[in-house]
A = this chain, B = another copy of it.
Amino acid sequence: MVVVMEREATQADIDAVAERVRSMGGEAFVSRGTVHTIIGLVGDTERFSAVDWKQLPGVDHVIHIGKPYKMVAADLHPEPSTVSIGATPVGRGTFTIIAGPCAVESEDQALISTKAAKAAGATILRGDVFKPRTSPYSFQGLGERGLEILEECRRQTGLPIVVEVTDVSHVMRVAEVADCVRVGTRNAQNFELLKEVGLARRPVMLKRGLAMTIDEWLQAAEYVAQRGNSEIVLCERGIRTFEPATRNTLDLAGMAVAQHESHLPVMVDPSHAVGKRHLVAAMARAAVAAGADAVMIDVHPEPEVALCDGPQALTPDEMIDLGRDLERIAEAIGRPVNRADG
């Protein structure tokens, strides 16, 4: 941590900062510049962070050198983690395709979609039963009945499933059924929900919030890890920018930065990022080429009648084509692809 003094700061101001540091058991290294004097703080950074140094006379601002997260940081855990969702590993050593319907609407729709997902090479299924919708007049999900349908999908395909949770009260019930619980973009800073999934005995997929910096995203992951659950997969899904042509702006470089700053697996959801079918495949291909650990794709047997996000869903045939492209690119960059058994 570095305290930067104002140009008008007096010797007494500088001494007072140094004294405060020493009173907390630390050391203060003073560099007197021609304009600003700066003071390097050495000692218990966490204690230093609790002080609002800017309030002391003569202090201009404070610069934090370390990261505001620890348990998820690459710094202290340089080996990348692999998270197992059911029997499927997700991590830097492999490439995983997750696919399925955005929302579970009926048993037929879910089964057709998940079988297409498996045929396309997916080794994890997606399918939501509680949908956070911008408008209260939109379809809100099947709830409990949806969970039963998902269990049937898993029984028939043998693949593990990931399901979104939208409230503390759902978490334990969803975690009984799902192989991975997902926290969505609108709840990415719902800290009570993060704490609750931190107590669940299931891997957690944590989407990046629409307006979240990578630093904030990793701090959200820290909430989960702090409660004892370090089976976390980060999922980039586009951020909000001024560009209206796509639903959001997919930040692929942000995915790569998160892989660099944390030891967690980091994946990409191109479907929700772009919101338009003809762009989804291009962005999924880009994600694997950029080194994403997994991609998650919406599939629907009849996108034109989907109750949620139809315009971005691939048809089963399109999904199978995409799966083939993703495998080829993964091979081209020397990355093995997860495969479902038989």
Contact = CB atoms under 8 A, between A and B. Distances in A.
Contact of A52 (B2, B166, B257, B306): B306
Contacts of A7: 75
Interface in A207-230: 209-211, 213-216, 219, 222-223, 226
Contacts of A154: none
Size category of the A interface is 35 or more
Contacts of A341: none
What number of copies of this chain does the assembly contain?
Answer: 4
A43 B75 CA distance: 32
Nearest to A63: B63
A260 B4 CA distance: 18
Contacts of A30: 29
Given A52-B305, A304-B55, A31 B40 contact: yes
Contacts of A291: 282, 285
Contact of A190 (B32, B190, B211, B331): B190
Interface in A292-342: 303-306, 310-311, 325, 328-329, 331-333
25 contacts: A2-B2, A2-B38, A38-B65, A49-B137, A52-B306, A52-B311, A55-B311, A68-B134, A68-B137, A166-B190, A167-B168, A187-B189, A213-B244, A241-B249, A243-B254, A245-B254, A246-B253, A246-B254, A249-B251, A250-B252, A252-B252, A252-B282, A253-B273, A256-B282, A257-B279
